Structure 1
């Protein structure tokens, strides 16, 4: 049987080739996409650490009569408080039945009950802040960092050559601190009934000796760091370190027993006034 050969028109061949190309192209598209995936979404930015909150601190003192150094003693404390955003609280009367020196405890109790401050820093009036660059908040933080249980510490205290010195101390603004004071009041009242009038420092010493739980809530700060004495009043703690230029605070405790003259404390105040590092008042005084 004779088979006639077939002739395919060129246009058909071209059409078939075009279809084959389209089929190949679309067949390859998924492969191209698999090798070029869409970029992943950017990772979320890390959250910024919470801003460290500064503790609320009040600087506290009282003065009940005229002094030759009244202006300077007030100025150094007020200037410091303004520079570092502390509240500066002064009483000009004292009405404690236990004696004038106990008024500092009465003030502390009254201020703690206001629940406005994390810490209260007491300074006797015969003191000067001699380096206003230093932050008392840093002293608190550094001291608590060395405590085994920092949240249980309520009193930061200093010593001199005679033991505890309450010319400069720091109290936590917590109701536990009030209990500590009430326990001290109880000792003072019991001793007074025995005709033994104890100082505000002595009752705290006795409290810490008789009650280990109360002592556990205190921590000692080096004297030079918070309550330095000048060379003229050489009654230092175990560090044996006297005040020197750049030290935070100078305390003229018992100047009358160490310096001759009609106004021993005033004389020392005026002597050390030029050593004060004030800082630039324009940066904060009108803030």
Structure 2
């Protein structure tokens, strides 16, 4: 019998050594998730804060699949998650068969199945969290305070001048929510069979109109509270309130239709990034040296 030694490729040995070294170094800091260091590009990046305060378990969910001029600005604003003790879950690829924006439903469904969260906040990437003092949990509690059966409300949605806007919404992490996504997908499938394109937002509008049970599980939040638009994008809900300094979230939805130039969203991000209220960094980081 001939004995053969098995040699690992040098590149594999180097990668394993690098992962071991980085894992050791970063494991000494409680603020860097070592599991994300050597993850494949298709994996989500989840940034969790240890020692979170008691209360509802929250994850902020988003994805970005291209490189934009405003990536750093958008991500820096979402450091809000660290300050409030929420998780931030980001995908860098999407594989939705029905269209790119359907991936949000795939992500939310996947997170619901983990049983790690009570509420999930979907937030489009072309957004700035402009006031990190405001707690999402407070908005949820205030919204449900006057509802007869708050445990039966699964969706906190916002509108703009065109109706439903799904660029920022909150969903209860419950199996009922995944059924809604399946029902919306079924609506899209029926339209696709007719040769019609139907977005995830169009499908939700139809579902909310035609299905009373789903409609009863939703509540509309004033746009300025959860999905405010700047003055350059004058498409507001019934409250007719433009974003003002101190408001929670700023969304540059459809900037291409309202702002001239080759990079409309980047232009608005640059204009408003100085308005972000970040809070004291010493409250978010525990220095170890």
Please report the TM-score for the alignment, with normalisation by the length of structure 2.
0.80
What are the ranges of 5 or more consecutive residues in structure 1 without an aligned counterpart? 1-51
SS at the partner of 1:131?
coil
1:210 aligns with: 210
Q: Give the superposed CA RMSD.
A: 1.1
User: For each residue in 1:17-45, what CA deviation from the matched residue of structure 2 results, as whole angstroms up to 9, or x when unmatched?
Assistant: xxxxxxxxxxxxxxxxxxxxxxxxxxxxx
1:41 aligns with: none
2:285 aligns with: 285
Matched-pair contact (CA < 8 Å) for 1:228–1:250: yes
1:146 CA displacement: 2.2
What are the ranges of 5 or more consecutive residues in structure 2 without an aligned counterpart? 1-52
Partners of 2:68 and 2:146 in 1: CA distance = 39
2:23 aligns with: none
Partners of 2:165 and 2:146 in 1: CA distance = 21
1:9 aligns with: none
Instruction: Give yes or no for the alignment of 1:170 onto 2:170.
Output: yes
1:33 aligns with: none
SS at the partner of 1:266?
helix
SS at the partner of 2:75?
helix
Aligned residues: 235
Partners of 1:195 and 1:285 in 2: CA distance = 53
Instruction: Give yes or no for the alignment of 1:106 onto 2:101.
Output: no
1:64 CA displacement: 0.1
1:1-287 mapped onto 2 (5 Å cutoff): 53-77=54-78, 79-286=79-286
Partners of 2:158 and 2:166 in 1: CA distance = 7
Higher CA-based Rg: 1
Partners of 2:187 and 2:211 in 1: CA distance = 11
User: For each residue in 1:54-98, what CA deviation from the matched residue of structure 2 results, as whole angstroms up to 9, or x when unmatched?
Assistant: 100001100000000011111111x10000000000000000000
1:105 CA displacement: 0.6
Partners of 2:115 and 2:188 in 1: CA distance = 26
Matched-pair contact (CA < 8 Å) for 1:82–1:285: no
